[in-house]
């Protein structure tokens, strides 16, 4: 016997009213799904956490495999005495960063931070400065050179030249204790260049004029809206000559040459690594691993040297491996730094020949 009376009657069981049946030809009314309570959200959160944890374990395993590259002359990561590796790649500028994911930038502020970090790290007994740059800003190259020189007073610094280490790239390299280049490396290009563009004649042809209000006759020097005067040309040339003299003095001091010897080579020409060795602009011919071996010897590291990479221009595998290897550096600064260039770039540039 069924018992379907209301909830107020004694001994009766109340049942929720059922929706009326759908009329012929109509769809039955949709029922709302039952709301999930907070327990379901907690379970979902735990599942997500476990998935992330599992992914982290996989990444650690991959990194450990990457770090354990047996048979190589040097091993990335690890503990004990190590050789620091700092890379300068691309045009040298005053930017405060170097790119981790895309084309790297030779930012002077970032490079200087890395050089100082290597100087403070007691586990770093020597540093390899890997340069692959055609040059760039004179001031930025000069700033990095100063830090390399300070580091070389405390620990051995060996430069490893890649495809090109010319002009501003060579300015930086000249502060190292030793320079190792590939026989086919392009280096040298000791000199300074300034370029201006003039299109006032084209503007005249199409009926466009440019005007500039200044507080002095030299304030608009180099303007494309007019022809450069002879006194302006002499002024700019004197400025270039001054930077050139600084460049020559730096190379002479770093390479143990006289200024007269350097000036014979410092006419903007480039050299191969083999040619540069003959004129004493580099010390040895070899690749990156040869530079590491030399740095380890100068740093008195016994056995196969372990490497510690600074900066974020190596790619994902080495970047991930270094941090999972418990290397300590200012990672948040490098990752969160605003990638905009600050201020106006210097007109003076030190660049390899095109």
The confidence score (pLDDT) of residue 343 equals 36
Average pLDDT by stretches of 10, the chain with 354 residues: 50 59 61 59 78 71 49 60 94 68 65 94 96 94 96 97 96 97 97 90 89 91 92 95 97 96 96 97 96 96 90 50 43 35 42 49
Q: Per the residue annotation, which of 89, 110, 167, 189 is the catalytic one? A: 167
The confidence score (pLDDT) of residue 159 equals 98
The confidence score (pLDDT) of residue 291 equals 97
Domains in the chain with CATH codes:
74-190+271-351 (3.90.226.10)
Q: Per the residue annotation, which of 217, 219, 234, 278 is the catalytic one? A: 219
Whether residue 308 lies in the annotated active site = no
The confidence score (pLDDT) of residue 51 equals 81
**63, 108 in Cβ contact below 8 A?**
no
Under 8 Å CB-to-CB from 310, ≥6 apart: which residues?
Answer: 84, 85, 86, 114, 117, 118, 329
Burial classification of residue 240, based on how many CB atoms lie within 10 Å of its CB (0-12 exposed, 13-18 middle, 19 or more buried):
middle
Whether residue 205 lies in the annotated active site = no
| CA distances to 54, 151, 192 from 246, in Å | 56, 20, 10
């Amino acid at each position: 016997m069924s018992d379907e009376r209301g909830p107020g009657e004694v001994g009766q069981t109340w049942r929720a009213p059922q929706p009326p049946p759908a009329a012929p030809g109509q769809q039955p009314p949709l029922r709302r799904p039952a709301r999930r309570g907070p327990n379901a959200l907690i379970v979902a959160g735990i599942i997500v956490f476990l998935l992330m944890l599992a992914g982290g374990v996989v990444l650690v395993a991959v990194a450990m495999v990457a770090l354990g590259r047996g048979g190589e002359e040097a091993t990335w990561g690890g503990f004990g005495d190590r050789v620091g590796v700092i890379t300068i790649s691309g045009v040298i500028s005053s930017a405060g960063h170097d790119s981790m994911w895309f084309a790297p930038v030779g930012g002077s502020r970032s490079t200087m931070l890395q050089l100082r970090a290597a100087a403070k790290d007691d586990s770093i007994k020597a540093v390899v400065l890997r340069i692959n740059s055609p040059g760039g800003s004179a001031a930025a190259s000069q700033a990095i050179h100063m830090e390399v020189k300070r580091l070389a007073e405390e620990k051995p610094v060996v430069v490893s030249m890649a495809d090109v280490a010319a002009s501003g790239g060579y300015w930086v390299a000249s502060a190292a204790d030793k320079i190792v280049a590939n026989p086919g490396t392009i280096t040298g290009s000791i000199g300074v260049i300034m370029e201006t563009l003039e299109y006032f004649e084209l503007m005249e042809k199409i009926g466009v004029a440019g005007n500039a209000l200044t507080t002095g006759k030299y304030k608009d020097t180099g303007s494309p809206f007019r022809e450069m005067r002879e006194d302006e040309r002499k002024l700019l040339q004197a400025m270039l000559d001054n930077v050139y003299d600084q460049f020559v003095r730096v190379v002479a001091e770093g390479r143990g040459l006289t200024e007269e010897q350097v000036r014979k080579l410092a006419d903007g020409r480039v050299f191969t690594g083999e040619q540069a060795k003959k004129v004493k602009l580099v010390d040895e011919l070899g690749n990156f691993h040869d530079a590491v071996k030399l740095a380890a010897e100068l740093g008195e590291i016994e056995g196969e040297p372990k490497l510690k990479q600074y900066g974020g221009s190596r790619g994902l595998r080495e970047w991930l491996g270094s941090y999972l290897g418990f290397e300590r550096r200012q990672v948040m600064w490098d990752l969160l730094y605003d990638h905009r260039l600050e201020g106006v770039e210097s007109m003076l540039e030190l660049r390899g020949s095109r």
